[in-house]
Amino acid sequence: MNKKAFIKYLLSQFKLIKKKNKVKKIALHEPSFSKFDEINLKKCIKTTFVSTFGYFNEELVKRLKIITKSRFVLPIINGTSALHLSLLALGIRQNTEVLMPSLNFIASPNSTLYINAIPHFVDVEEESFGIDPQKLKDYLSKVSIIRNNKCINKKTNRVISAIIVVHVFGFASKIEELKKIANKYKIKLIEDASEALGSIYKNKALGTFGDIGTISFNGNKIVTTGGGGAILTNSKKIYNEILKIYNTGKKSHRWDLIYERKAYNYKMPNINAALGCSQLSNLNLRVNKKRKIFLRYKKIFKNFEKLIEIKCEPKNCKSNYWLNTILLKKADLKFRNNIIKKLNDIKVFARPVWRLNHRLKYLSKYPKMNLDKSINLEKRIINIPSSSHLKI
């Protein structure tokens, strides 16, 4: 099959999908709402508690605990702030290095810069699009030594203090292996499960393997609170650290306004939590629908296996298939861009993966390992529409 024939077929299929959905354009990922969302929002407004205090905040915590089996949960204003708080709560110091993939959303490097720490970019592998454990192991054994129970980068003489593992598009990174490496090298493990609510690895929710996990409830995620996020942890100590700093640092008092420390205004408002509660009530249904969308895409494009694959979940992972991916068999930027352009021309809003973070101007000066696999994958990944209500 040649590339031209594939694009022709792809466009014809998406035209059919538009017809089936009775729409003129197809977003990459839209929120799905039901009447329960409206009911909850109205209920919340009636109580007048639309800001940081209220019933829905507590209810959201309860529901997330049931879903993730995390011991502690804190609803936050967004996933980026959840990462920021995670770094603070783990005591990550300024001028220490935080390992993270370059094939990544921008929240990891930005939150690291918020605390004046140093992003240090590492490579990913193809099965999960997450950090490559073997490459990381080889790299750390070469560039670092353990001194006083700390991992020291021999090149920069700085402490390597943490690693942010990102579960990309709902796929589980090789989290068990990465956790072993983090333990061996005395590095704190933050799991960015922003895109992976509802995904499990060996029957355990993503975001619950590390010292801390984060989730995003942005409008483009599987479940939304408008803007929002959450922190998951099993550590009472970490939980208490976050409690101190995530809600202005105000002392609990019936009427007096006493602020005890420098703190943030990061707690999720009750009205957002109200939306989160109704959205979470059918999470399983959403995951099932998205898994069906993956199967449909796989079937539609099965005759093009020499040219592309529809990326399937890695071993031991049951994915929420947040965003489906066409993965080109060979790195071919021209072909990738042509596919995305042609789809956008017919108002099917496909997109490439994020620009590799280490190449962004303001991040280019930070340390990095050889990033061959990320560079290769960047030229091969195309995300295609995946809203859970999409009929395919």
Ligand X SMILES: Cc1ncc(COP(=O)(O)O)c(C=O)c1O
* Residues at the site binding ligand X, with contacts judged by CB under 6 A: 78-80, 105, 107, 166, 192, 194-195, 216, 218, 229
Taking the least distance from each CB to ligand X, the nearer of 107 and 140 is: 107
Taking the least distance from each CB to ligand X, the nearer of 70 and 216 is: 216
For the CB of residue 293, give the shortest distance to ligand X in the complex, in Å: 19
Query: The tokens of 287 are what?
Result: 């995951």
For the CB of residue 78, give the shortest distance to ligand X in the complex, in Å: 4
For the CB of residue 164, give the shortest distance to ligand X in the complex, in Å: 9
Taking the least distance from each CB to ligand X, the nearer of 68 and 80 is: 80
For the CB of residue 384, give the shortest distance to ligand X in the complex, in Å: 17
For the CB of residue 218, give the shortest distance to ligand X in the complex, in Å: 4
Torsion on CA atoms 161, 167, 168, 173, rounded to nearest 10: 90
Rounded Cα distance between 310 and 292, Å, is 13
Taking the least distance from each CB to ligand X, the nearer of 308 and 363 is: 363
Query: The tokens of 206 are what?
Result: 């993503």
For the CB of residue 192, give the shortest distance to ligand X in the complex, in Å: 5
DSSP 366: S
For the CB of residue 229, give the shortest distance to ligand X in the complex, in Å: 5
Taking the least distance from each CB to ligand X, the nearer of 79 and 367 is: 79
Torsion on CA atoms 295, 301, 307, 311, rounded to nearest 10: -20
Taking the least distance from each CB to ligand X, the nearer of 259 and 362 is: 362
Contact between 367 and 36 under an 8 Å Cβ cutoff? The reply is no
What φ, ψ does residue 204 adopt, rounded to 5°? -120, 140
Query: The tokens of 279 are what?
Result: 């959205």
Q: Which pairs count as long-range contacts for 211-216, CB under 8 Å and 24+ apart, including other chains?
A: 211/90, 211/235, 211/238, 212/86, 212/89, 212/90, 212/238, 213/68, 213/70, 214/76, 214/79, 214/82, 214/83, 214/86, 214/190, 215/64, 215/79, 215/82, 216/78, 216/79, 216/80, 216/82
Taking the least distance from each CB to ligand X, the nearer of 136 and 223 is: 223
Q: How many CA atoms lie within 13 A of 392 on its CB side?
A: 25
For the CB of residue 245, give the shortest distance to ligand X in the complex, in Å: 18
Taking the least distance from each CB to ligand X, the nearer of 40 and 173 is: 173
- Nearest residue to ligand X, using CB? 79
Rounded Cα distance between 349 and 352, Å, is 10
Taking the least distance from each CB to ligand X, the nearer of 78 and 233 is: 78
For the CB of residue 11, give the shortest distance to ligand X in the complex, in Å: 28
CA-based diameter of the chain, in Å? 73
DSSP 51: S
Residue 241: its H or E element: helix 236-245
| Bridge-based pairing state of the strands 118-122 and 97-101 | parallel
